[in-house]
Amino acid sequence: MASRTLFGIPVSAGIAIGRAYYLNKSHFSGTVRQTVSDADVPFEIERLNRAFDDALHDLERILTLVPEDLKEHSAIIESHLMMLRDQKFRKRALDHIALTKINAEWSLERAVGDVQEIFASIADEYLRQRMQDVRLVAERVLGKLVGGESGHQAIKHRAILLAHDLSPADTIELDVNKIMAFATAQGGKTSHAGILARSLQIPAVVGMEGLGDDLAEGGIIILDGFHGRIIIDPDEDELARYTDLQAQFEGYQATIMRSCHLPAETIDGYRVQVLANIELFEEVVAVNDNGGEGIGLFRSEYSYLNRDGMPTEDELTEIYMDMASLVAPKKLVIRTLDVGADKLMRMQSSAESNPALGLRAIRYCLKHREVFRTQLRAILKASVLGNVSIMFPMISGLQELVEVKKFYREVQEEMHAEGICFREDMPMGIMIEVPSAVITADFLAREVDFFSIGTNDLIQYSLGIDRTNKDVSYLYQPLHPAIVRSIKWVVDSAHRAGIEVCLCGELAADPFCIPVLMGMQVDSISLGPQSIPGIKRIVRQASMEECNALLKQVMASHSVARNNKLVREMIFRRFPEELMFYSSLVDD
């Protein structure tokens, strides 16, 4: 039998070779619409209420079972509990029963669909992926309605787990020691499945097309976490090749982990600070384990998601104080709210025609100042610990920044009047992620203490493409001359003003781009914790002399193809081992 290959999105690197185990827990695929009589409506409402309560009790029990080495899952499970306690989501489903006279199962599916329409209008990929949380919670409720067994205890031997989707609660109920790797049909790069895989340090692929329960369970498969694929029924040559690659990667991982706590300093003495991007409190453990030197981007949106109402000042203060204490003495950069929270909190059905360019980030905060004030006060309270910085996203120009700073000072004055302590000179920075901010970077640099270049959005806005759209994703070119020149201009503007500049986004984790960024003399980079060891190793093996020479060639080039060729030649010559383990290089 010839082998066949399925493709998805790689979210955790590595190779796994083993038997497949399919976890079929998607109950929605079998849900049918049934009309019920007026007399049966109370019964259906009671069924749905009982299912919500049972699912809630299940998750509360599972939360108590989280072992110490998987504590990073707790926050995600707690967010799912918050959704189950949210009466608005439950009421949506109950209203469908009462108003349209349909069965409980179908009403739950309708409620999920309502929420999905709202999430679809959100521009930010990370926040769009939180829709998966809603569906995972609904799956658990639906499981209680249909009375199906999870089958979680059925894995008797180590296997590669295949599933429609996978939540933290699923991993707690499973024996994780028997999971070699996993693939899911749902999810994206920023979905929880990816976070789970990286915390478990196992290979994983998500968003896999064609992954169904028709696959022969127990058959041998290869999961390639570098390139995002599964090979079903591999032949002898494929098995031999991947077995060899697996051994090489394990050796490479051992090597880079042994040196991950060394500074990222070139052979000729240039040092770049390597920080981490996180969204969950529990990810700090991974930052420390992988040699991170602080938190360059703490996405504060998670505290606002999947809850009934806005978080209070006390709640936010506790989160930020706990985070700063855990990170100390390393720095913690808190980015203020980067989403239109009214869509996420209150599930309003109004959708913007172009959400990526709409009321989001600092624009939303300036329009909803009470929400902004609450967060600013919480961050200022946490600043007394001495290692906290504040960062404002989506700043488009000087006038907007002046308005933000004016409101920020008003909040400080209020706290002074109330006798509340905070750090007067807490570092304040902005995200440079829209072309207008790039062009006026020299003006903006005089107003803040640091820049952070958000390359994901900057590339999309500068090149006019949506990198999540498969039809135009090929145009997402980090080494496009316009992008290289934009970043160089921002770095130079910052340094002329005497402030530091950090670069975050996917570029910071791409070995393909690191030598160019080093040639620009960025002060720090901020990336996912799991990428830190490999990037630090590249920096330590490089020299500024060769990085400067490469940058000079790239800056003189007007061609994306030539830039890619220049960088590829250097990487092949200087870092051949790293090339084997990064799909962005191997596939280009």
The residues spanned by each domain of the chain are 4-24+150-254, 28-146, 259-586
Average pLDDT on 86-94 reads 87
* Phi, psi of 486, deg, nearest 5: -65, -50
CA torsion angle 491 495 499 503 (round to 10): 20
Q: Using CA atoms, how far apart are residues 111 and 351, in angstroms rounded to an integer? A: 17
Q: Is 439 exposed, middle or buried (0-12, 13-18, 19+ CB in 10 A)?
A: middle
495 is an active site residue: no
Q: Which residues contact 517 (CB under 8 A, 6 or more apart)?
A: 487, 503, 507, 508, 525
504 is an active site residue: yes
Please report how many Cα atoms fall inside a 13 Å half-sphere around the Cα of residue 169, on the Cβ side.
22
Q: Using CA atoms, how far apart are residues 488 and 527, in angstroms rounded to an integer? A: 19
pLDDT band at 348, cuts 50/70/90? very low
- Domain 28-146 identical in fold to domain 259-586: no
Q: Which residues contact 177 (CB under 8 A, 6 or more apart)?
A: 158
Q: Which of 192, 260, 365, 480 is catalytic?
A: 192
Q: Is 578 annotated as a binding residue?
A: no
Q: Is 540 annotated as a binding residue?
A: no
Please report how many Cα atoms fall inside a 13 Å half-sphere around the Cα of residue 536, on the Cβ side.
27
Maximum Cα interatomic distance, the chain, rounded to a whole number of Å: 81
Average pLDDT on 316-337 reads 96
| AA letter at 299 | R
Q: Is 46 annotated as a binding residue?
A: no
What local confidence, expressed as pLDDT, does residue 301 receive?
85
Cβ contact 484:534 at 8 Å: no
pLDDT band at 44, cuts 50/70/90? very high
| AA letter at 125 | E
On average, the pLDDT of the chain sits at 85
The answer to whether the peptide bond before residue 329 is cis (omega within 30 degrees of 0) is yes
The alpha-helical segments, DSSP class H, found in 469-556 are 481-496, 514-520, 532-541, 544-556
Beta-strand runs (E) in 290-342:
294-299, 331-335
What's the 3-state SS for 437-485?
HHHCHHHHCCCCCEEEEEHHHHHHHHHCCCCCCCCCHHHCCCCCHHHHH
Q: Is 457 annotated as a binding residue?
A: yes
pLDDT band at 112, cuts 50/70/90? confident
Report which DSSP code applies to 521: T
Report which DSSP code applies to 265: B
CA angle 276, 488, 126 (to 5 degrees): 35
Cβ contact 264:283 at 8 Å: no
What local confidence, expressed as pLDDT, does residue 71 receive?
56
**4-24+150-254 topology per CATH:** Glucose Oxidase; domain 1 (3.50.30)
Q: Which CATH class is domain 259-586?
A: alpha beta
Q: Which of 260, 365, 502, 504 is catalytic?
A: 504
- The total number of residues written for the chain in this structure: 588
Q: Is 229 annotated as a binding residue?
A: no
Closest CA to 207 of 6, 394, 64, 399: 6
What's the 3-state SS for 54-108?
HHHHHHHHHHHCCCHHHHHHHHHHHHHHHHHHCHHHHHHHHHHHHHHCECHHHHH
Q: Is 103 annotated as a binding residue?
A: no
Q: What is the pLDDT of residues 253-310, one digit of tens each?
A: 899 999 999 999 999 999 999 999 988 777 888 899 999 999 999 999 878 865 667 8
Q: What is the pLDDT of residues 169-181, one digit of tens each?
A: 666 666 667 889 9
pLDDT band at 221, cuts 50/70/90? very high
**Rg of the chain taking only CA atoms, in angstroms:** 25
Cβ contact 120:355 at 8 Å: no
**28-146 topology per CATH:** Enzyme I; Chain A, domain 2 (1.10.274)
Q: What is the pLDDT of residues 501-556, one digit of tens each?
A: 999 988 898 888 999 999 999 999 999 888 899 999 999 999 999 999 999 999 99
Q: Which residue has the tokens 């304040």?
A: 428
DSSP 191-250: SHHHHHHHHHT--EEES-TT--TTS-TT-EEEEETTTTEEEES--HHHHHHHHHHHHHHH
For the chain, the distance separating the N- and C-terminal CA atoms, rounded to the nearest angstrom, is 30
CB atoms within 10 A of CB 236: 7
pTM: 0.73
Average pLDDT on 42-56 reads 92
